[in-house]
Chains A and B, each alone.
Chain A
Amino acid sequence: MAQITADNHGLRLVVRYTVLGLIALMFVFPLVFMLMSSLKPDAQLLSDTRSLRAFLPVGDISLDNYFDAFRRAPVGLFIFNSVVVTGITVVLSLMVCSAAAFAFVFVDWRGRELVLTLILATLIVPFETIAIPLLLIASKLPWLGLDGLSYGWLNSYQVQIIPFVADGLTIFLFVQYFKDLPGELIEAARVEGASWWQVYRRIVMPLAGPVLATAAILKFLAMYNQYLWPLMVVQEETYRPVMVGLQYFFQLNRAWGEIMAYLSLITVPVLAFYLFLQRAFIASIASTGVKG
């Protein structure tokens, strides 16, 4: 056995940090490449891939690709659509799922066990297995809009929002969290004469900060990054979200610099948001693993 000396310890630290650092490089290099390439003209972008210049902001650097991307496609509209769909879904989902979980944990009602079991059972049904029949259902559903009753939800905001408002995972997260709140508190409030709405609004929800953050982050990621569903139900560009909007850049000629600019544009805000709230993001993923 080697003696633990200062040198030995120092050497070990160097080895450890080197290993950690090399792995970190593997995870960031495509993202660095994306950002740097978005600043370069196509010819330079391609020739730079032959050296480490691919990862450096060198040569003919400009924001031209970003301006050209906006000229090529209605990028602002796509981003707006994604923000609308993601934002509304997250808010509705938090309200609907927290209310349901509240009923499952604190309220005693007939059918509670059965409904909760059914909802949790949906966790083993991947979205991909229901997407096709859901497409048919969505194409026939009625909608009461500003210009009267119409049938078929294809090409709309609601088709991207409403099917994703309630889901088993979000309800499960709220149920797990509510179970750890002191039930006596709720019962005491009821005895004091508080209405159910007051208990939910004034007692439970103010205590639910952490689970609200978790559920919001997971829903945000799922919705913003959604691809398969909007690909099938949104053909009109009026309602097209960012991930499907990519198609634009592959028609006609392929301008890689513009593609990289577009990718950066739709990715960097999410990455910045993540780095800013890093602990909350990681905690939210970890909480999906609790108690399986």
Chain B
Amino acid sequence: MASKFTRSNATGWMMAGPAAALMALFIVLPFIFAIGFSFTNQRLISPNPTQFVGLSNYSQLLGVGLLVLEPEKDEAGSVLRTDDGSLTYPALRGFTRNNPDYPQFDGMREWFSLSLGENRIYVLARDVVFIKAIVNTVIFVMVVAPLQGGLALVLALLINQKLRGINFFRAVYFMPVVVSIVVVSLLWRFIYDGQSGLLNNLLGALTFGAFPRIDWLGNPNTALGAIIAMSIWQAVGFHMVIWLSGLQTISPSLYEAAAIEGASPWQTFRYVTWPGLRNTAVLVLIVITMQAFALFAQIDVMTSGGPLDSTQTIVFQAVERGYGKQDISGGSTISVILFVFVLAISLLQRWLTREKK
């Protein structure tokens, strides 16, 4: 509808200008700054001028190394064993502290180690806490995305039935979505509590006291899982609604045709419902992934990254450094790493769920 009546550069810029300017200042500029700061030693407040430091922020955060140690041997060449028969190895610190032969390991710490034959393999990291944060975040995303997406679809299919009062159930399932994640996290601290927690009491009652009490958030083996379960509980209603709007775009005549052909419920789902949900599936997965990578409030309220760094996450680390230690460059570098993750996973999901010709 290009005509002299709809054409106006002045009007266009005047009406879109405020939004464009605000977004340039508060989204585009910080995004560019994040990339820029990640190559400097910028701090929030500093008496010294900011300097360009190249890639050192990245190598400081992401540096990892592999060190294979042979067991200590005596002069004859046979391995030495301690009294209980286990092998002994040279001390790790001999390699990571000022050893001119191994400059690449300088300042690194053990991330984890494993045995291979008589040798001991050490995986070292320059910043063990951050590497753990990456691993935890990736685990969180890999578990939450399929599980939350799948459960949301199941709920959407349940809610899509024609039943009296179904809107009531839809409203209830959606309810946690409007409650702040901060409030939810505090409530669930009560559910997960090791002493008077509701979950322990419930499990105890169901097993007549046979189930041992667990401090769900205080145990490194269960803390991340507990946060995963709660996060799904809070957000699953959101994606249920998105699936539901996808379900409602599928023409009823397709279902009628399937019923006439005598398709089983599974066949109907497989050949009618699922193909109609392809675009919704991409959207749901991408949205969940982006939300999951941003995991912060739950950690801040429930565990502060503990116990034993088992719930450290990328954003928690970014805030701890960028805000807590006022290390803007460190926080920015983590932000850039986070963005690369989000972008890569989004592109990968888009590619995996592309229309197959």
Which residues of A line the B interface, CB within 8 A? Answer: 13, 16-17, 19-21, 23-24, 26-31, 33-34, 37, 46-47, 49-51, 54, 96-97, 99-100, 102-104, 106-112, 115, 118-119, 122, 124-137, 139, 162-168, 171, 183-184, 186-187, 190-191, 196, 200, 221, 224-225, 227-228, 231-232, 243, 246, 256, 259, 263, 266-267, 270-271, 274-275, 278, 281-282, 285-292
Contact = CB atoms under 8 A, between A and B. Distances in A.
A134 B282 CA distance: 30
Interface of B: 1-3, 5-9, 11-16, 18-20, 22-23, 25-31, 33-34, 37, 42, 44, 155, 158, 161, 163, 166-167, 169-184, 186-188, 190-191, 196-198, 201, 233, 237-238, 241-242, 244-246, 279-280, 282-284, 286, 290, 293-294, 296-297, 300, 315, 318-319, 322-323, 328, 331-332, 334-336, 338-339, 342-343, 346
Contact of A122 (B27, B178, B180, B338): B27
Contact of B30 (A112, A137, A191): A137
B344 to A, nearest CB: 11
Given A128-B338, A133-B34, A267-B179, 17 more contacts: A27-B237, A30-B184, A49-B197, A103-B13, A103-B16, A108-B8, A109-B16, A110-B12, A124-B346, A128-B294, A129-B342, A132-B318, A135-B44, A164-B26, A166-B20, A166-B22, A286-B244
A130 B335 contact: yes
A270 B179 contact: yes
Contacts, number: 292
Nearest to B246: A289
15 contacts: A16-B163, A27-B172, A27-B233, A30-B188, A96-B22, A103-B12, A124-B343, A133-B33, A137-B30, A167-B27, A186-B6, A196-B8, A227-B180, A227-B296, A281-B174
A81 to B, nearest CB: 15
A21 B183 CA distance: 24
Contact of A33 (B22, B167, B187): B187
Nearest to A115: B20
Nearest to B176: A27
Nearest to A290: B245
Contacts of B30: 130-131, 133-134, 137
Contacts of B20: 100, 115, 119, 166
A99 B237 contact: no
B322 A124 contact: no
B170 A282 contact: yes
Contact of B282 (A104, A267, A287, A292): A292
A133 B233 CA distance: 32
A183 B282 CA distance: 31
Nearest to B335: A129
Given A126-B338, A168-B23, A271 B9 contact: no
Given A24-B173, A128-B335, A196 B196 contact: no
Given A129-B342, A137-B33, A19 B242 contact: no
A118 B19 CA distance: 12
Contacts of B280: 289, 292
A281 B28 contact: no
Contacts of A224: 180
B1 A243 contact: no
Contact of B318 (A128, A275, A288): A128
A190 B177 contact: no
Given A28-B172, A28-B175, A166 B18 contact: yes
Q: Which among A46, A49, A111 has the highest number of chain B CB atoms within 10 Å?
A: A49
Contacts of A132: 34, 318-319, 322-323, 328, 331-332, 334-335
A165 B22 contact: yes
A125 B37 CA distance: 17
Contact of B196 (A28, A46, A163): A46
Given A27-B173, A127-B294, A129-B335, A289 B245 contact: yes
Contacts of B297: 227-228
Contacts of A124: 290, 342-343, 346
Contacts of A278: 167, 171, 174
B18 A100 contact: yes
A50 to B, nearest CB: 5
B179 A31 contact: yes
B11 A49 contact: no
A125 B25 CA distance: 14
Contacts of A187: 1, 3, 5-6
Contacts of B190: 33, 37, 49, 256
B6 A190 contact: yes
B299 to A, nearest CB: 11
Q: Which among B11, B181, B198, B282 has the highest number of chain A CB atoms within 10 Å?
A: B11
B228 to A, nearest CB: 16
Contact of A107 (B8, B155, B166, B300): B8
Contact of B178 (A97, A271, A292): A271
B335 A133 contact: yes
B18 A134 contact: no
B15 A135 contact: no
B11 A107 contact: yes
Contacts of A31: 175-176, 179, 187
Given A20-B158, A27-B233, A190-B6, A115 B336 contact: no
Contacts of A102: 15
A108 B8 CA distance: 6
A274 B339 contact: no
